[in-house]
């Protein structure tokens, strides 16, 4: 008989992840399995399941799950709206309401940690995820098979040195080449601010950053990396920032795709995210702009350029406060090409330091940029800025128009604030804020229309310069998210990185449009997903050929019936012919015969009845071999039909039908046929 698999599958099990709530307490999830890796599935059939095998009965039912713990991301200088349950820090001056990204996935018995972000809003223990949540006793390395970092923003990689060096993790860490190059710069910069400027103790050191980076394995785009025998990962281009990638994690036939942060519309320096139709079981996607559909980027760019151009033409100075990486490079390219095109002569400056180093890497990783830059870099690398020069403090007082990019992006301290103070008094000048500003910063004040600012030392600064706001953001909007879901065709979607209320809308849309399940776990919540993986079954060639010979060519759309015996042995499945199965198992073959009596009202003699039966069957079963044997019995293939007189009623004949188990189908058909009686006219 053919077999059909019923029952459930087993698959990923995801671990809950601790997340700080608004009050800053940590809530270990009660259901978190506290066993070391390798024993997380107590079932003896674990190995089988790890390969994605599914057992055809309902007995082995296992759960799979994905956990997501997420908080909002930092994406330096971009719009941040925290999780609903994450109250923004109210400490003045700290200024950044940021989240962190950290997700644990258990798939086919493998545990993978996606991103290892930090929260920039806290200065105490809360800034890092609570890794003791994974294991209270035992080493992290035993529990995690690998760590994957999607891109270099600190809310995605900030906790990495702490995690690997201070908590202790020695397993592999995967990231792309640009991320590997830029990530330590950012970590070092962050460390300097935390330790050198704020004087914090118990923080990771430079050496720790270096040691941590030694554990990193860099991957190329679309390169399939075998983490171990069963687990493989693959990176896809994600846009967003240089080196950002989406990762596909695959164990057996099961897979999860984690998008990290991505952008579906290309910008001046990066391309759009792209994924093939990999049909993962689960797609974990960010949903920053779950309820927003954005306007064309061209309007924004045009507005920006027009404003800068006008200000420069009337001899004013333009200040653009930015964060060192990401948008800054995009705006630089935008202005650089515009200057080139329009033949403008006014100087553009860029504050030195971090940015210079970063630009160096942008120059190197040309393959990660957009079409235009990739195509033209042979003539000229777009990041070799012709018009943009390093800024010196003395330049701020130079006469004549100029454009200056200065850090930080919210005008709360540093160089950008200094320049702002110098230039604020002149109405010819202009400041353009390319991103969102947190409440309490100078940036926020001027954006909300304040014209008189109180500075330190009770000075009052009158702002006469023009204040402009331009939003440049590199996240996919609702349409973009839907587009990616459409491209990847996942079985389930899991939303992270967004506000619950907005995610609700997107969730509803995804379920409606794609008819797939969509989840949006809260921080610390575990999601368990059942999957139905396909189970490979080995079939002997002899059997296959024999069965093939019986029918037409296989048709992909129609299921075919196949006779064989399924042997489950040593966690593999084989389909063999029954003879071979008997031989292998050392069993003797038993004949199973069904016999059935059919009463037939027929006053004639037995021989005549048999003859009538013969001619009737002959006419009905044209495809089969129907024979009338000399002894008066009738055979159809191997089925024997004998007619005998009824012992009590001579008017009734008894037909004895006998068939073997193998001919069950034909036998039962024949019986039902005979039960209907013989046609009257047949003689």
Partner 1 sequence: MAAHLKKRVYEEFTKVVQENDPSVRLKIASLLGLLSKTAGFSPDCIMDDAINILQNEKSHQVLAQLLDTLLAIGTKLPENQAIQNRLVDVACKHLTDTSHGVRNKCLQLLGNLGSLEKSVTKDGEGLAVRDVQKIIGDYFSDQDPRVRTAAIKAMLQLHERGLKLHQTIYNQACKLLSDDYEQVRSAAVQLIWVVSQLYPESIVPIPSSNEEIRLVDDAFGKICHMVSDGSWVVRVQAAKLLGSMEQVSSHFLEQTLDKKLMSDLRRKRTAHERAKELYSSGEFSSGRKWGDDAPKEEIDTGAVNLIESGACGAFVHGLEDEMYEVRIAAVEALCMLAQSSPSFAEKCLDFLVDMFNDEIEEVRLQSIHTMRKISNNITLREDQLDTVLAVLEDSSRDIREALHELLCCTNVSTKEGIHLALVELLKNLTKYPTDRDSIWKCLKFLGSRHPTLVLPLVPELLSTHPFFDTAEPDMDDPAYIAVLVLIFNAAKTCPTMPALFSDHTFRHYAYLRDSLSHLVPALRLPGRKLVSSTLSANITPHEDPSHQFLQQSLERVYSLQHLDPQGAQELLELTIRDLQRLGELQSELAGVADFSATYLRCQLLLIKALQEKLWNVAAPLYLKQSDLASAAAKQIMEETYKMEFMYSGVENKQVVIIHHMRLQAKALQLIVTARTTRGVDPLFGMCEKFLQEVDFFQRCFIADLPHLQDSFVDKLLDLMPRLMTSKPVEVVKIVQTMLRQSTFLHLPLPEQIHKASATIIEPAGESDNPLRFTSGLVVALDVDATLEHVQDPQNTVKVQVLYPDGQAQMIHPKPADFRNPGPGRHRLITQVYLSHTAWTEPCQVEVRLLLAYNSNSRLPKSPWVEGGEVSPQVETSVIEGTIPFSKSVKVYIMPKPARR
Among 482, 503, 575, 600, interactor with partner 1 by CB under 8 A: 482
Q: CA-to-CA distance for 284 and 493, rounded, in angstroms?
A: 6
Nearest-approach distance from CB 296 to partner 1, in angstroms: 5
Pattern 236-265, binding to partner 1, x per CB under 8 A?
Answer: -----------------------------x
Closer CB to partner 1, 372 or 428, in the complex: 372
Nearest-approach distance from CB 309 to partner 1, in angstroms: 7
- Decide the pairing of beta strands 224-226 and 216-219: unpaired
User: Between residue 180 and residue 209, which ones bind partner 1 under the rule CB under 8 A?
Assistant: none
Inter-residue contact 560 to 575 (CB < 8 Å): no
Binding to partner 1 by residue 378, rule CB under 8 A? no
CA angle 66, 183, 391 (to 5 degrees): 140
Nearest-approach distance from CB 294 to partner 1, in angstroms: 7
Inter-residue contact 428 to 315 (CB < 8 Å): yes
Residue 679, Ramachandran bin (φ over 0: left; ψ between -120 and 50: alpha; else beta): beta
Among 372, 421, 563, 646, interactor with partner 1 by CB under 8 A: 372
Q: CA-to-CA distance for 13 and 105, rounded, in angstroms?
A: 7
Among 509, 604, 618, 624, interactor with partner 1 by CB under 8 A: 509
Nearest-approach distance from CB 683 to partner 1, in angstroms: 39
Pattern 208-237, binding to partner 1, x per CB under 8 A?
Answer: ------------------------------
Q: CA-to-CA distance for 108 and 231, rounded, in angstroms?
A: 9
Burial (Cβ within 10 Å: 0-12, 13-18, ≥19) of residue 246: buried
Among 84, 206, 352, 466, interactor with partner 1 by CB under 8 A: 466
Nearest-approach distance from CB 417 to partner 1, in angstroms: 18
What's the DSSP call for residue 197?
A: I
Asked if 286 is an active-site residue, the reply is yes
Q: Which two tokens stand for residue 97?
A: 């309401």
Binding to partner 1 by residue 604, rule CB under 8 A? no
Closer CB to partner 1, 267 or 602, in the complex: 267
Nearest-approach distance from CB 379 to partner 1, in angstroms: 13
Binding to partner 1 by residue 301, rule CB under 8 A? yes
> Nearest CA to 265 among 300, 233, 237, 239?
239
Neighbouring residues of 11: CB distance < 8 A, sequence distance ≥ 6: 49, 52, 62, 63, 64, 107, 108, 254, 281, 529, 530, 531, 533
Inter-residue contact 349 to 334 (CB < 8 Å): no
Closer CB to partner 1, 226 or 296, in the complex: 296
Among 136, 341, 558, 676, interactor with partner 1 by CB under 8 A: 341
Binding to partner 1 by residue 291, rule CB under 8 A? yes
> Nearest CA to 609 among 618, 617, 600?
600
Among 296, 379, 459, 647, interactor with partner 1 by CB under 8 A: 296
Count of residues touching partner 1 (by CB under 8 A): 55
Closer CB to partner 1, 195 or 470, in the complex: 470
Binding to partner 1 by residue 381, rule CB under 8 A? no
Among 200, 356, 427, 513, interactor with partner 1 by CB under 8 A: 513
Inter-residue contact 117 to 162 (CB < 8 Å): no
Nearest-approach distance from CB 292 to partner 1, in angstroms: 5
Stretch of 175-183, 252-260, 475-483, 560-568 contacting partner 1, by CB under 8 A? 475-483
Query: Which of these is catalytic: 78, 230, 254, 286?
Result: 286
Q: CA-to-CA distance for 54 and 131, rounded, in angstroms?
A: 33
Binding to partner 1 by residue 603, rule CB under 8 A? no
Q: Which residues of 138-171 are buried (b: 16+ CB within 10 A; e: fewer)?
A: eebbbbbbbbbbbbbbbbbbbbbbbbbbbbebeb
Q: Which two tokens stand for residue 448?
A: 């909300």
Q: Give 646-677 as a DSSP string.
A: -SS-TTEEEEEEEEEGGGHHHHHHHHHHHHT-
Inter-residue contact 264 to 273 (CB < 8 Å): yes
Binding to partner 1 by residue 303, rule CB under 8 A? yes
Binding to partner 1 by residue 448, rule CB under 8 A? yes
Binding to partner 1 by residue 84, rule CB under 8 A? no
Nearest-approach distance from CB 463 to partner 1, in angstroms: 13
Q: Give 332-358 as a DSSP string.
A: HHHHHHHHHHHT--S-EEE--SHHHHH
Stretch of 121-129, 341-349, 410-418, 457-465 contacting partner 1, by CB under 8 A? 341-349
Nearest-approach distance from CB 561 to partner 1, in angstroms: 20
Coil, strand, or helix at residue 643?
A: strand
Q: CA-to-CA distance for 504 and 92, rounded, in angstroms?
A: 32
Q: What is the largest CA-CA distance in the chain?
A: 128
Binding to partner 1 by residue 558, rule CB under 8 A? no
Neighbours of 670 (CB within 10 A): 24
Closer CB to partner 1, 46 or 268, in the complex: 268
Closer CB to partner 1, 336 or 525, in the complex: 336
Binding to partner 1 by residue 130, rule CB under 8 A? no
Q: CA-to-CA distance for 632 and 634, rounded, in angstroms?
A: 7
Nearest-approach distance from CB 415 to partner 1, in angstroms: 22
Q: CA-to-CA distance for 53 and 318, rounded, in angstroms?
A: 63
Pattern 34-73, binding to partner 1, x per CB under 8 A?
Answer: ----------------------------------------
Binding to partner 1 by residue 336, rule CB under 8 A? no
CA angle 500, 501, 504 (to 5 degrees): 85
Binding to partner 1 by residue 447, rule CB under 8 A? yes
Binding to partner 1 by residue 374, rule CB under 8 A? no
Q: CA-to-CA distance for 190 and 202, rounded, in angstroms?
A: 14
Contact residues for partner 1, defined by CB under 8 A: 265-266, 268, 271-272, 274-277, 291-303, 305-306, 309, 337, 340-343, 370-372, 433, 447-449, 466-469, 478-479, 482-483, 486-487, 502, 505, 508-509, 513, 553, 556-557
Q: Which residues are catalytic?
A: 286
């Amino acid at each position: 008989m053919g077999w059909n698999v019923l029952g459930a599958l087993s698959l990923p099990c995801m671990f809950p992840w601790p997340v700080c709530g608004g009050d800053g307490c940590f809530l270990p999830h009660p259901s978190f399995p506290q066993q070391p890796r390798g024993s997380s599935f107590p079932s003896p059939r674990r190995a089988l399941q790890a390969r994605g095998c599914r057992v055809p009965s309902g007995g082995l039912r296992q759960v799979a799950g994905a956990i997501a713990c997420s908080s909002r991301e930092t994406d330096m200088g971009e719009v941040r709206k925290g999780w609903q349950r994450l109250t923004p820090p109210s400490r003045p001056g700290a200024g950044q309401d940021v989240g962190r990204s950290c997700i644990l996935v258990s798939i086919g018995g493998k545990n993978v940690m996606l991103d290892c972000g930090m929260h920039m809003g806290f200065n105490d223990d809360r800034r890092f995820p609570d890794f003791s949540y994974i294991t209270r006793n035992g080493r992290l390395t035993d529990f995690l098979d690998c760590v994957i970092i999607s891109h270099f923003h600190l809310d995605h990689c900030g906790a990495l040195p702490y995690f690997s060096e201070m908590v202790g993790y020695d397993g592999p860490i995967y990231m792309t080449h640009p991320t590997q190059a830029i990530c330590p710069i950012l970590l070092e910069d962050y460390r300097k601010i935390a330790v050198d400027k704020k004087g914090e103790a118990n923080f990771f050191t430079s050496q720790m950053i270096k040691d941590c980076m030694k554990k990193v394995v860099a991957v190329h785009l679309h390169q399939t990396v075998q983490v171990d025998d069963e687990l493989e990962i693959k990176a896809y281009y994600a846009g967003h920032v240089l080196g950002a990638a989406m990762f596909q994690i695959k164990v057996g036939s099961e897979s999860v795709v984690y998008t990290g942060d991505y952008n579906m519309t290309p910008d001046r320096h990066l391309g759009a995210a792209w994924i093939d139709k990999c049909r993962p079981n689960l797609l974990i996607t960010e949903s920053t702009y779950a309820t927003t559909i954005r306007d064309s980027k061209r309007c924004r760019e045009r507005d920006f350029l027009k404003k800068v151009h006008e200000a420069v033409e009337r001899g004013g100075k333009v200040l653009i406060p930015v964060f060192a990486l990401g948008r800054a490079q995009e705006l630089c390219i935008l202005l650089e090409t515009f200057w080139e095109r329009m033949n403008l002569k006014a100087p553009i400056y860029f504050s030195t330091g971090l940015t210079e180093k970063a630009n160096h890497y942008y120059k190197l990783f040309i393959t990660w940029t957009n079409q235009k830059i990739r195509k033209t870099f042979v003539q000229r690398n777009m990041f070799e800025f012709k018009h943009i020069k390093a800024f010196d403090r003395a330049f701020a007082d130079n006469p004549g128009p100029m454009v200056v990019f200065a850090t930080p992006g919210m005008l709360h301290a540093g160089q950008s604030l200094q320049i702002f103070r110098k230039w604020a008094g002149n109405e010819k000048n202009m400041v353009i804020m390319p991103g969102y500003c947190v409440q309490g910063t100078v940036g926020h004040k001027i954006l909300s229309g304040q014209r008189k600012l109180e500075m330190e030392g009770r000075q009052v600064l009158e702002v006469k310069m023009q204040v402009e706001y331009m939003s440049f953001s590199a996240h996919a909007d609702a349409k973009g998210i839907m587009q990616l879901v459409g491209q990847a065709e996942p079985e389930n979607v899991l939303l992270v990185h967004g506000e619950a209320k907005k995610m609700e809308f997107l969730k509803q849309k995804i379920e409606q449009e794609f008819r797939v399940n969509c989840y949006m776990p809260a921080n610390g919540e575990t999601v368990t997903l059942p999957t139905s993986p396909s189970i490979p079954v080995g079939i002997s060639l002899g059997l296959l050929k024999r069965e093939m010979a019986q029918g037409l060519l296989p048709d992909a759309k129609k299921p075919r019936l196949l006779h064989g015996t399924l042997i489950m042995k040593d966690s593999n499945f084989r389909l063999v012919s029954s003879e071979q199965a008997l031989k292998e198992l050392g069993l003797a073959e038993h004949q199973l015969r069904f016999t059935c009596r059919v009463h037939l009202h027929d006053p004639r003699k037995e021989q005549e009845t048999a003859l009538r039966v013969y001619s009737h069957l002959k006419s009905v079963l044209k495809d089969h071999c129907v024979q009338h044997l000399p002894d008066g019995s009738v055979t159809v293939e191997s089925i024997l039909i004998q007619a005998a007189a009824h012992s009590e009623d001579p008017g009734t004949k008894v037909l004895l039908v006998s068939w073997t188990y193998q001919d069950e189908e034909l036998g039962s058909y024949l019986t039902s046929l005979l039960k209907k009686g013989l046609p009257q006219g047949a003689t």
